[in-house]
Structure 1
Amino acid sequence: MTDTVRLVSLATATPEHVIFQNQAAEASARLFAGRFEDFHHLARVFDSAGINKRHAARPLAWFDEPHGWQDRMQAYGEVAGALFVEAATSALGRADLSAGDVDCIVTVSSTGFTTPSLDAQLSRRMGFRADIERVPVFGLGCAAGVSGFAIAARLARSRPGAVVLFVSIELCTLAFRLDELTRPNIIATALFGDGAAACVLRAAEGGLVEVESTGEHLFPDTLDIMGWKIDDGGFGIVLAQSLPPFAERELAPAVTAILARNGLELADIDRFICHPGGMKVLAAMESALSLTPGTLDHERAVLAEYGNMSSPTVLFVLERVVRAGLPERAAMIAMGPGFSASCVTLRRAA
């Protein structure tokens, strides 16, 4: 039996509520302009973010009122559970498998939590076996789409033939804070959306693409670049202005080191599949990787249609790249809290 791990199937899902960018801008002006003197200066981000619309766990009117942990986590459990079922069921169906065939499940999310974890709460509803191995992961943020995919791939490689289900779910909009009169909160209000993605991975014949290598890089002394500031009101966004220039300066050396550990060079990569954290971050990544401006076209298309959904966003991009035709070798890259970079190289399936 082969030990080459393959992505067998991929599916995405979004909540039913849609917020167009002009609606978000108008609502934000109504909620913040009279209380935050820098709002009108910062509000330009709604036009420059490259976003047309986003999906949200709750309708726009929900965000007019303050919400505490109970409201936020109740909404998270309800909507994240529904998206989990939708994305996972679709991915398994595309692989011609059922939930009872799954041997291991890796679930990543940094925008909410439940205990027991979602995979346990949904086990009976999905039809998972009692002996399924569960790996819920919290805290990797935007990098988790690649990091979690890598964890799932390594589990699949360690057990040839085993079916590994990877699910990424983020409800970023539930972190919206009426009480946070800060630049990061306004930027987040213009940028983030909600969504989920699921993948089936297996060391077996067939599949969409081959998983060639995985790797990560943790940058020292960078804890303040991105993350959560957790208080009584909920999650508060930490998002440093230094992120785009940091990415432009530090991403290529990190990715080069990851590739080198696997006997590869930047020149070996035919297509970079990047997490679209924002327009400035995409431009920084193109510069860092010596790509022609505008090269990351699928990334910009996903950002425009869905916003930054944190971890599943890069999988939405992967779905489009696979549909368009994966080149001989690609590298899937995401950055996240830590500050860290994750990279997975993929080969076109033989």
Structure 2
Amino acid sequence: MTAPVTLLSLATATPPHVLTQDEALETGRHLLAGGFRDFDRMVSVFANAGIAERQLARPVEWYLSPRDFTERTAVYLEVALDLFMAVARDALAQAGLEASDVDTIVTVSSTGIATPSLDARAMAHMDFRSDVSRVPVFGLGCAGGVSGLALATRLARATPGSTVLFVTVELCSLAFRTEAVGKADVISVALFGDGAAACVVRSGDEGFAQLCGSAEKTWPDTLDIMGWEMEPNGFGVVLNRAIPAFARRNMQQAMDEMLGPQGLKIGDVDRFICHPGGAKVVDAMETAFGLNQGSLDHEREILRRHGNMSAPTALFVLDRMRDQGLPPLSVLTALGPGFTASTLTMRCAA
């Protein structure tokens, strides 16, 4: 019988520069209103986002000047690497391990381009072995925290006894644009922040959760819901305002389809741990899963304190759940470009 894969540790971090939601509104008004006539009609997005503050890769003043892709990439390589190493060291320390104990590194990031990848750059500063396997993944977006941890789980299961380090870093603020502004840009200014998370997984060891199964659901003809457009200054956000309505209509059936092969149904799950893409997305998830309004309280609190950090956000919620005590059976879930839902089923190991 295959030994279960366990989650040994979980670490989170954010950059130090704090932006309140009031400051985000004023910054957005200053930079976007001139090129987007409907800005004032959308200011309610800031008030209704459920966000008090978020953390950014640079002080807000940095974003007030035009930045080309070279400048954005330089910041990504510096800040993302710092965050990578911070959460990796923390996760390893929590697990009682050294960098040299790691056999595989899975790195998920979709908000910048690094070749060599972040894990390779980290090897100059951390004592990873020269034969460590590196698996950098780009393009998963907001689903990356769940999909990446699921990938790390499958790799650990395939090689019993091996140690897999999973790291996800996203600097969403670097995609901020002031040219060809549309509704998606206003929404992104209201929602997104920067952050990182890391986990250590291994089969056969004792941890705080057993990672039991994973699944994904990708809907056809949905490429325009979420993603990036490649522009001269870098990434331009694609973000459809219909995401909450889409989740409300489709997530119940999708979750049934993803849980079914594991012999589970929605009613068996003690707690859904959701990526809080925005306040309306959290509301939609509660409706789709038949939960009482307000049930996803930890999701709302992470959103309030950090905004939507893309891939790491679901792991911030999981970390908060761990502090409060995980229920017997939970499902970590997120939505991302594709348009794709991703899940990871967990049983509390305590």
What's 2:218 paired with? 218
Q: Distance in 2 between matches of 1:94 and 1:249?
A: 40
What's 2:190 paired with? 190
What's 1:46 paired with? 46
Matches within 5 A, 1:175-186: 175-186=175-186
Aligned residues: 350
Q: Distance in 2 between matches of 1:311 and 1:181?
A: 24
What's 1:26 paired with? 26
Give deviations 1:317-347, integer Å, cap 9, x for gaps: 0001111011110000000000000001100
What SS class does the counterpart of residue 124 from structure 2 fall into? Answer: helix
Q: Distance in 2 between matches of 1:119 and 1:281?
A: 32
What SS class does the counterpart of residue 150 from structure 1 fall into? Answer: helix
Contact 1:197 1:315 (8 Å CA) reproduced: yes
Q: Distance in 1 between matches of 2:221 and 2:36?
A: 31
Q: Distance in 1 between matches of 2:275 and 2:54?
A: 16
The alpha-carbon deviation at position 36 of structure 1 amounts to: 2.0
Return the letter of the residue paired with 1:343: T
What's 1:137 paired with? 137
What's 2:96 paired with? 96
What's 1:296 paired with? 296
The alpha-carbon deviation at position 2 of structure 1 amounts to: 5.8
What's 2:322 paired with? 322
Q: Distance in 2 between matches of 1:189 and 1:180?
A: 15
Matches within 5 A, 1:230-245: 230-245=230-245
Q: Distance in 2 between matches of 1:65 and 1:52?
A: 24
The alpha-carbon deviation at position 83 of structure 1 amounts to: 0.1
Contact 2:225 2:239 (8 Å CA) reproduced: yes
Return the letter of the residue paired with 1:210: Q
Q: CA RMSD in A?
A: 1.0
Structure 2 unaligned blocks of 5 or more: none
Give deviations 1:181-217, integer Å, cap 9, x for gaps: 2100000001000000000001023101010111111
Contact 1:2 1:205 (8 Å CA) reproduced: no
Return the letter of the residue paired with 2:95: A
The alpha-carbon deviation at position 255 of structure 1 amounts to: 1.2
What's 1:287 paired with? 287
What's 2:155 paired with? 155
Deviation beyond 6 Å, 4+ runs, structure 1: none
Give deviations 1:140-180, integer Å, cap 9, x for gaps: 10001000000000011111111100001000000000113
Q: Distance in 1 between matches of 2:241 and 2:34?
A: 24
- Output the TM-score relative to the length of structure 1: 0.98
What SS class does the counterpart of residue 148 from structure 1 fall into? Answer: helix
What's 1:313 paired with? 313
Q: Distance in 1 between matches of 2:160 and 2:2?
A: 7
Return the letter of the residue paired with 1:215: A
Return the letter of the residue paired with 1:99: A
The alpha-carbon deviation at position 6 of structure 1 amounts to: 0.4
Return the letter of the residue paired with 1:257: E
What's 1:14 paired with? 14
Taking only the aligned residue pairs, the percentage that are identical comes to 53
